[in-house]
Chain A
Amino acid sequence: MKTAVTKFFPLALLFLSSPLMAQDNTGSSNSLGLALLAAVVLIAFFVLVQVADNLLRIQAKKVGPGADPDATSIFPSVRSLFRKRLPKYVGDAAVTDLREGYDIRLEGAATPKIDGRIKATTFAMQPPNFLGIAPIPKLAVEVGQKVKAGDHLFNDKKITAIKYVAPVSGEVVAINRGERRAITEVVIKADKEIEYRQLEKFDPEKGSREDLVNYLMDCGAWALLRQRPYDIVADPEAVPANIFVSTFDTAPLAPDNNFVVEGREEAFQKGLDVLNLLTSGKVYLGLSANGEEAPAKAFTEAKGVEKRWFRGPHPSGNVGVQIHHIAPIGAKQVVWTLGVQEVITLGAVFTEGRFNAERVVAITGAELKEPKYVRTWIGANVGELVKNNLSNDHVRLISGDVLSGRKKQAENFLNFFDDQITVVAEGDYYEMFGWLLPSKYTPTVSRTFPNFLFPKATYRADTNTHGEKRAFVVTGQYEELLPMDVLPQHLMKAILTNDYDGMEGLGIYELIEEDVALCEFACTSKQPLQKILRQGLDMMHEQG
């Protein structure tokens, strides 16, 4: 659309200038004629420059989609004229401004201090966390067995070489099964002092890529890699086109990665170096230009990676959104994604010689007495982490954030990739004329409530749906909340009608659940978009 306007603009100018020329020839008044002539010359010059500029832009587009088209133009784009001033720390780097989206501001953000008193004692690896593996993996341990951190617990039946390892040392106390005997949890009671399986030394710079892949699969670090499309366990046969790491999380109450990475800078950089060896393309680091202060040095001064700055409300921190703007996933391509803490664990394999599954977890939510950070290991027991901290009993414990996290009971465990617990009130109450005159203020993107007048206010949210499910009625709502060139509502309809071509064409490969979570939150018709999207992803995945 924008390019079309700029393309026709010079033509329009030429068209407009022709009557001026005509008048110039017949003009009797000399000064007027001169002025018109000057105007014509100016316009002609402008047209020439504009045409040249457009050619430049077209060439820039051919060179690579990752390049910022505004950066190659000599004219500022309209948007950049009106854009907010960039923070100083960005320097000369280009920043991708994302307008669409919304920050849900909730009460109960964690204070950036680690509480050393809180200790979880049981941990679990949960096969359902790893999408794409068979529901009943092959177990390498049995109940009662002692394991060290990094020992094999189970492996997938399809790709047996990928090992899933114990995050802590201790005794396997339970192997829980769910529907159709699928294994849901392998529970370990942790030792007081964690013992690690010593890994043999391996220098990734010297070994071949194949050796590195085999080494990572054996030590358990392979499970840290997630592959797009579908957000599944990475395929050892595939070479990713690029690898993406988002260094900031914009989800409600999400942990601050600048705080998380403190003291682990070396492992983080090592992790990035290893990733560089695994891809045929580049490792991209998504950085936040949202804050007043610069992101941690570990991110801004990371070496050997391409850094890309993003500014905008949630979901600008989602790695899927960043991929879309950096280098969209092409046909038959795969890319990998990791979170900051996954990169640290990967790096620690080489810097410390052990599978160090340490995690800094943010315990957040308005229903907590004291929201805070704790240091624990992957798959910690949820109940133990929030013990003595709940302000009431009628709450929902969530592994992850309120938008795309999963509901947990106190005896359940944090999911493998989650570094946050959110506690929200259950909302199973009736509200008189709640659709007209709400009795309390909760977050909303709708301007029919006065919330938008108070951009700094924070809210207590609960799990009430505030209405019943309906057919799609309102249009254009999702587009305002997803900063991608995707038509979410049409994609959802394509999924619901099993339209494979439509799904592919409308960009299902670029999305996972967390990307449409904000749309689902705001949906007036209360449609379950994440569930629908996963259905579609599963369908496409089965088709291959």
Chain B
Amino acid sequence: MKDLIQKIKKFEPPKEKRFLHTLYDGFFTFLFTPNHVTSDVPGVHIRDRMDLKRTMVMVVLALQLCYLFGTYNIGHQHFLAIGEHTAFLDAIHLKIAYGLIKILPIFIVAHVVGLGIEFYYAARKGHPIEEGYLVTGALIPLIMPPDIPLWILAVSIVFAVVIGKEAFGGTGMNVVNIALLTRLFVFFAYPTTISGDQCWVAGIDYSGAQAVTETYGWAHHAFDWLFNGLGLSTFGDGGIAVTDAFTGATPLALATKGWAEVTAVYSPAEMFWGTIPGSVGETSKPLIILGLLMLLATGIASWRIVIGGILGAVFMTLVLNAWEFDVYMQIPWYYHFYMGSFWFAIAFMATDPVTASGTNVGKWIYGFSIGVLGILIRVMNLAYPEGWMLAIIFMNVFAPLIDYFVVQGNIKRRAKRTAVAA
């Protein structure tokens, strides 16, 4: 073990080469926890095992089920659209291969661009590399449509990381959630790539009069020899017309016309298990809830925010049910939890500790407000089919204000009790 460290230490670039040294340091501390000991200044002599690396990695681990399912679902939706291998477990190898070909470039671009910026700023400031982007980088592919053009993704990440985070001072200083800011940028700068009915199923070409699948590229054919060798079906040429029944619309888009319209296309079970079109990682509710339970059990996500958020959403849907102004409002309140990305947003986005409220009372208010606002935007504003991104970013901005009032409340309460004592 010591020899190994000595060998690696030989590669350490000199401190003057800042970028290289930061890079080296980043990878070295990733491999080995450093040999730092607690300092001599007044302070503790022993430290907890927990550090930021582990905190972040726990979130990334909690996302893994979403990755697995999301990847498979990209392929599944694609084949569903053209009416081939329509059963969920048909042609598993094709669906996995198709999903990987879609998700890997997104994943790689998200990490190379984001981490590149992170490394650059760390080197510039002479700081060690901070771990915040590990989670951001894992979240971004999951909240994108599978067909997102990579250059748009890259531009958005540059915007979000530079303006949203580094401009404020790096991990721990940002005001709004970086992954959501990335999506927000895509949403407003390139709306056609991330809204409407046409973007949620991968590999469908709408340019002609009729929607057809795009032709398969070299990446797909690279699998041919393997699948042939195993006696499995291969991708073929593509360019097939999609089935008549195909809409590509998400449940939320259909819900504006009432619950009957939604169930005409998707059964509640499909929505629950997640075999529907949507952003990559947000469709499968049970897997998200499993990840959420893991974060809650380990104490990484704040249960106050999650419970607050669920209560807020339940409250708002009940209010709308009571109002019953249009067909959308008549959708029974519990079905709102089958559609859209509520669970993903509340589990992984709202619970980001940096951008959420920092006080325990504030967390209740913050979570509840997100729940209320998200449903409100979803149902009342037809221009935005889903409300969680906007609701969370909105509350991110308001979180410091909530905290301000909670802190002032604490100060007043404290002043009162000492005044009584005096």
Contacts and interface: CB of A to CB of B under 8 A. Distances in A.
Interface of A: 1, 61-62, 64-65, 104, 241, 327-333, 396, 398, 402-407, 422, 424, 426-436, 438, 442-449, 461-468, 470-476, 479, 485-487, 489-490, 502, 505-507, 513, 517, 520-526, 528-531, 534
Name which of A64, A332, A526 has the most chain B CB atoms within 10 A of its CB.
A526
Given A430-B34, A475-B353, A531 B411 contact: no
B51 A468 contact: yes
Given A65-B417, A435-B57, A531 B46 contact: no
Interface in B27-72: 29, 31-55, 57-58
Name which of A404, A428, A429, A485 has the most chain B CB atoms within 10 A of its CB.
A429
26 contacts: A64-B420, A328-B414, A329-B421, A330-B419, A333-B422, A422-B45, A432-B1, A433-B31, A434-B33, A436-B54, A442-B49, A463-B46, A467-B33, A468-B128, A470-B52, A471-B170, A475-B357, A476-B353, A476-B359, A486-B410, A490-B358, A524-B51, A524-B52, A526-B47, A528-B39, A528-B41
A406 B49 contact: no
Given A331-B422, A448-B298, A470-B171, A430 B46 contact: no
A464 B47 CA distance: 7
List of 6 A-B pairs having minimum Cβ-Cβ separation, nearest first: A467-B51, A434-B33, A471-B172, A330-B422, A505-B411, A435-B53
Nearest to B404: A490
A522 B51 CA distance: 9
Given A431-B33, A446-B299, A506-B407, A521 B417 contact: no
Given A407-B45, A471-B172, A530-B44, A525 B32 contact: no
Contact of B48 (A434, A443, A463): A443
Contact of B50 (A444, A502, A520): A444
Contacts of A465: 34, 36-38, 47
Per DSSP, are chain A's interface residues mostly helix, strand or loop, or mixed? loop
Nearest to A529: B43
Given A487-B407, A505-B414, A466 B33 contact: yes
Contact of B32 (A406, A427, A434, A444): A434
Contacts of A407: 40, 45
A529 B419 CA distance: 28
Chain B interface bracket (under 10, 10 to 19, 20 to 34, 35 or more): 35 or more
B356 A475 contact: yes
B132 interface: yes
Contacts of A446: 48-50, 54, 298-299
Contacts of A531: 41-43
B247 interface: no
B413 interface: yes
A476 B42 contact: no
Interface in B148-181: 169-173
B52 A430 contact: no
A438 B49 CA distance: 8
Nearest to A398: B45
Contacts of B1: 430, 432
B9 to A, nearest CB: 10
A426 B50 CA distance: 18
B407 A428 contact: no
Contacts of B173: 471
B363 interface: yes
Contacts of A328: 414, 417-418, 421
Per DSSP, are chain B's interface residues mostly helix, strand or loop, or mixed? loop
B354 interface: yes
B360 interface: yes
A444 B51 CA distance: 11
B358 A475 contact: yes
Contacts, number: 233
B5 interface: yes
Contacts of A486: 410, 414
A333 B46 CA distance: 34
A31 to B, nearest CB: 33
B361 to A, nearest CB: 7
B39 to A, nearest CB: 7
A403 B46 CA distance: 7
B300 interface: yes
B270 to A, nearest CB: 34
A334 to B, nearest CB: 12
B45 to A, nearest CB: 5
A521 B44 contact: yes
Contact of B36 (A468, A520, A530): A468
B42 A447 contact: no
B33 A507 contact: no
A334 B182 CA distance: 53
B130 interface: yes
B333 to A, nearest CB: 22
Name which of B45, B410, B414, B420 has the most chain A CB atoms within 10 A of its CB.
B45
Given A465-B36, A473-B354, 5 more contacts: A333-B418, A429-B35, A435-B54, A445-B50, A467-B50
Contacts of B5: 430
B418 A485 contact: no
B8 to A, nearest CB: 10
Contacts of A432: 1, 31-32
Nearest to A464: B37
Contacts of A64: 420
B136 interface: no
B336 to A, nearest CB: 27
A463 B420 contact: no
Name which of A433, A466, A526 has the most chain B CB atoms within 10 A of its CB.
A466
Given A476-B363, A528-B39, A531-B41, A445 B48 contact: yes
Contacts of B317: none
A525 B44 CA distance: 14
Contact of A522 (B31, B50, B58, B417): B50
A65 B419 CA distance: 10
A522 B54 CA distance: 13
Contacts of B172: 470-473, 525
B297 interface: yes
Nearest to A252: B46
Given A398-B45, A433-B31, A447-B299, A473 B171 contact: yes
Contacts of B54: 435-436, 446, 448, 467
Nearest to B9: A430
Contacts of B363: 476
Contacts of A331: 418-419, 422
B302 interface: yes
B47 A466 contact: yes
Contact of B52 (A473, A475, A522): A473
B55 A524 contact: yes
A485 B33 contact: no
